[in-house]
Amino acid sequence: MRSSTETLIEALRILAGDILSEDGVANAAIAEAADRMEELCSELLFQKQLAEKYVEAGKICAKIYIARNISLSEKCVVSALAEIDKLYRTQHDGN
């Protein structure tokens, strides 16, 4: 059975505090490993959210393409562009 990443990070933090090391190098290395693992998880989550926004933007672009090709109203196209703008701004605001 695999432990969750959160459990592994917490275990590393506990080990970093519990290991007896004269110079503290082992403690520091384990603590840093936990920090880096946490940073990587955060970055992966951000990239996943960003990818989901790009997929959504692609769907909106498809709507615009369809709207233009079947001569839908300008209001429909403007609405779709506003959706893309909202996704873009959210992405760059880090939300």
Question: Residue ranges per domain, the chain?
Answer: 5-93
Q: Left if phi > 0, otherwise alpha if psi is -120 to 50, otherwise beta: which for 21? A: beta
Q: What is the pLDDT of residues 43-61, one digit of tens each?
A: 999 989 888 888 888 887 7
pLDDT band at 92 (very low <50, low <70, confident <90, very high): low
Q: Kindly report whether the global pTM for this prediction surpasses the value 0.85.
A: no
Question: Phi, psi (5° rounding) for residue 55?
Answer: -65, -45
* pLDDT at res. 9: 95
Q: How far is CA 49 from the centre of its chain?
A: 4
For residues 4-26, average pLDDT: 94
User: d(Cα 48, Cα 54) in Å, to the nearest integer?
Assistant: 10
* pLDDT at res. 65: 74
Would the pLDDT of 41 be above 90?
yes
Do residues 87 and 60 lie in contact, with contact meaning Cβ atoms separated by under 8 Å?
yes
The structure tokens listed for 25 are 């190098």
Residues near 47 by beta carbon (within 8 Å), at least 6 away in sequence:
none
CB count within 10 Å of CB 8 equals 15
